[in-house]
Structure 1
Amino acid sequence: MIPLFTEKEIEVAGQKKLYGTLTIPETIDSNEKYPAVLLISGSGPLDRNGNGPKGKYQLNVYSELAEHITNLGFITFRYDKRGTGKSEGDWLSTGFWDLVEDSELALQVLKEHPLVDPDKIIVAGHSEGTIIGTALSERQSLNGLMLLSGGVGNLDEFTTHQRLFTYQELKSSKGLKGFLMRLLINEKKAELKTRKQIQKIIGSNKDVYKVYYLLKQPAKWFREHFAYNPRDGLKKINYPVIAICGDKDALVDPALLDELHTLVQGPSDTHMIKNMEHGFRFQQEDKTMVRVKKLLKILPSRPLNPDGLDVISHWLESNYKSSRSNNIAQ
């Protein structure tokens, strides 16, 4: 699809000054109102486009998602979290509720925009953004929630799943490596050790905790995340919710998504996309935690999984497209 949109950088004033990109369909009627989507990124120092600092991990997942959604006739806004991209602050000392507060300010950009239909604003959270988006739904009036590569569970549940998956992947390795891993890895002992370290981190009163006096960890972020249960927020939702996950996504426990239908009061959909990894890109290789860094060298050159994009398109168009925005996308 030929890009038919314009982009404008927006400054968001808050506790820390944030910057983001507003993307608007090129052919619009200034007398009309259009549906809008707020994109909330995942964990770590990823900017509004989904890229790491200093050229590391240039994923561009959020810029590509914004382009796809805008080409459907939606206005989108994506922003740099604290301490990433152009935004002020230190991401390592930023807490979970700081991120939620920032998402409220970003949401306000759309709510106050003269072209946005205030009754058709959707939040699309990716990875950690699914938890932030759920918490945001408890504070602000929304009209839809998209849980991309995550949802339902909290940070503790997802990180535990990732560790257990890694143990099993290492132990199932072929040849001598697998033999040694099966001898050396004891999941129960490893988890006990990890849990003790996590308790030290979240039990501290510091924003940043140094493990072994060397490795810095975002203690405030862990502490606040572990205390929040997204299920409580989902139970209050009476508008459409969709959860989309890839079958090659090792970071997400797909079993958690089965709970979605029992939690939300409004209509809900869950989709498992074949050959899609955590960053929504096409992946035929086996699901992995061990080899994820190697995959990250080649995944950015691949397209976003078309089946995943089709699900997004169908859900947005079915629930939020006006006849006017239908004309734009054609």
Structure 2
Amino acid sequence: MIEKEIMIQGNDPIFGTLTFPEEDVTYPALLLLPGSGPVDRDGNDRKGKYQTNLYKDLAHFMTGLGFAVLRFDKRGTGKRGGDWMAAGLSDLTSDAKSAMKFLRAHPNVDQENVIVCGHSERTIIATILAETMNPAGCMLLSGGVDNLMQALHHQRQLAYKELFELPGFKGWINRTLKVDVKNEKKTEKLLEKMKKSDEDIIKIQFFFKQPAKWFREHSDYDTRAALKKVTCLVFALHGDKDPLVESRVLEELDELVQGKSEYHIIHNMEHGLRVQDEERSMLKMKKIFKEVLKRPLHEEGLEKMAGWLNSHFKTKDVSGSK
């Protein structure tokens, strides 16, 4: 495997890593878009608290299948300047489009066979690129169909359900105080404040920063309407232990997209595509995550990805070499 550091020129240069199975051969390619939060091209944060290497591992796996793979630092992570919290959906989409153009123009990439692959929140950006840039395929990992507001609503409802089901006094007091009603009112008030603001970042209670532009632009984006314009092949993958997504929405894919689609829900797989034997839980997710990080990516999940990629995008050298 060949791994190279790249820089995409512009007013705000983008730094990333491009991997190939071999040099001087032309390959189908994947643009890998990482999930939300301050994690770099590999899936790691600057402070070393969350060292997942998820995107590095995925890139190496996909390169092993015979694909070129580009992953890059988001704003304010890795070698990239800026503030990740100030970036809105439009900024993130602009970066992704620049990376897609770079990948298509690379001499060792088959520009007719470039696939966009988004994880978590970046499944929404992958959908935008599928709608507007006509890639050969679109992969939605641990996300898809719902927009951000709908996904967050689902997460809150699952958390309320767990709070109400706590044993003894804890569950009783949560039900009695109607914590769901009170929290939904607070959430609605906060979202309204961000929508009315024209700032990239706002503070609540004087100290706590919130990515207002990110929320505003996400709340205005209709993912299902975009999917209706998607003509490329679409692949979606969820884990049944992932509390951050509602997997039933994947049943809508076939009716939404114009091209052929397929989806898989993997038993005992969590949001970061690793093995999770523990229960599916919003309240215990952070605690479980510490143990999950010690485990490998889910073998069945990788097999489903490999099967789709190999069946639709056979590795080939369009320059004539084999």
TM-score, normalised via structure 1 length: 0.93
Identity of aligned pairs, percent?
48
Instruction: Answer yes or no: is 1:24 the counterpart of 2:20.
Output: yes
Query: What stretches of structure 1 move > 3 A for 4+ residues in a row?
Result: 322-325
**Is this contact kept in 1: 2:67–2:315, CA < 8 A?**
no
Distance across 2 between alignment mates of 1:116 and 1:246: 31
Distance across 1 between alignment mates of 2:245 and 2:134: 27
Shift of residue 115 of structure 1?
A: 1.1
Q: How large is the RMSD of aligned CA atoms in angstroms?
A: 1.7
**Is this contact kept in 1: 2:27–2:316, CA < 8 A?**
no
Instruction: Answer yes or no: is 1:45 the counterpart of 2:38.
Output: yes
Three-state SS of the structure 1 residue aligned to 2:74 is: coil
Aligned match of 1:201 in 156, 181, 194?
Answer: 194
Alignment deviations for residues 233-260 of structure 1 (CA, whole Å, 9 cap, x no partner): 2111112101100000000011221211
Shift of residue 288 of structure 1?
A: 1.1
- Mapping for residues 62-73 of structure 1, pairs under 5 Å: 62-73=55-66
Instruction: Answer yes or no: is 1:252 the counterpart of 2:245.
Output: yes
Shift of residue 188 of structure 1?
A: 2.6
**Is this contact kept in 2: 1:57–1:296, CA < 8 A?**
no
The answer for the alignment partner of 2:230 in structure 1 is: 237
Three-state SS of the structure 1 residue aligned to 2:16 is: strand
Aligned match of 1:177 in 170, 175, 181?
Answer: 170
Distance across 1 between alignment mates of 2:112 and 2:9: 24
Instruction: Answer yes or no: is 1:290 the counterpart of 2:316.
Output: no
Alignment deviations for residues 180-232 of structure 1 (CA, whole Å, 9 cap, x no partner): 33333432332122111111112211111111221110101110011011122
Instruction: Answer yes or no: is 1:12 the counterpart of 2:8.
Output: yes
Distance across 1 between alignment mates of 2:9 and 2:292: 35
The answer for the alignment partner of 2:90 in structure 1 is: 97
Shift of residue 14 of structure 1?
A: 2.9
Shift of residue 289 of structure 1?
A: 1.1
Task: Tell me whether 9-18 or 198-207 shows the greater mean CA deviation.
Answer: 9-18
The answer for the alignment partner of 1:128 in structure 2 is: 121
Matched to 1:10, the amino acid is I
Aligned match of 1:266 in 254, 259, 283?
Answer: 259
Three-state SS of the structure 1 residue aligned to 2:97 is: helix
Three-state SS of the structure 1 residue aligned to 2:39 is: coil
Three-state SS of the structure 2 residue aligned to 1:103 is: helix
The answer for the alignment partner of 1:56 in structure 2 is: 49
Matched to 2:80, the amino acid is S
Distance across 2 between alignment mates of 1:14 and 1:177: 54
Distance across 1 between alignment mates of 2:176 and 2:44: 38
Structure 1: runs of 5+ lacking an equivalent: none
**What number of residue pairs does the alignment pair up?**
320
TM-score, normalised via structure 2 length: 0.95
Task: Tell me whether 94-103 or 252-261 shows the greater mean CA deviation.
Answer: 252-261
Matched to 1:80, the amino acid is D
The answer for the alignment partner of 2:304 in structure 1 is: 311
Alignment deviations for residues 278-314 of structure 1 (CA, whole Å, 9 cap, x no partner): 0000001001111111122222210001010000000
Alignment deviations for residues 113-140 of structure 1 (CA, whole Å, 9 cap, x no partner): 1111111100000011100111122332
The answer for the alignment partner of 2:72 in structure 1 is: 79
**Is this contact kept in 1: 2:145–2:253, CA < 8 A?**
yes
Aligned match of 1:166 in 159, 168, 178?
Answer: 159
Structure 2: runs of 5+ lacking an equivalent: none
Matched to 1:6, the amino acid is I
Alignment deviations for residues 143-186 of structure 1 (CA, whole Å, 9 cap, x no partner): 10000000011110001111111111121123443333333343
Distance across 2 between alignment mates of 1:323 and 1:11: 26
The answer for the alignment partner of 1:88 in structure 2 is: 81
Distance across 2 between alignment mates of 1:284 and 1:8: 36
The answer for the alignment partner of 1:36 in structure 2 is: 29
Distance across 2 between alignment mates of 1:212 and 1:16: 32
Matched to 1:76, the amino acid is V
The answer for the alignment partner of 2:205 in structure 1 is: 212
Distance across 2 between alignment mates of 1:10 and 1:212: 41
**Is this contact kept in 2: 1:42–1:126, CA < 8 A?**
yes
**Is this contact kept in 2: 1:39–1:62, CA < 8 A?**
yes
Matched to 2:90, the amino acid is W
Three-state SS of the structure 2 residue aligned to 1:281 is: coil
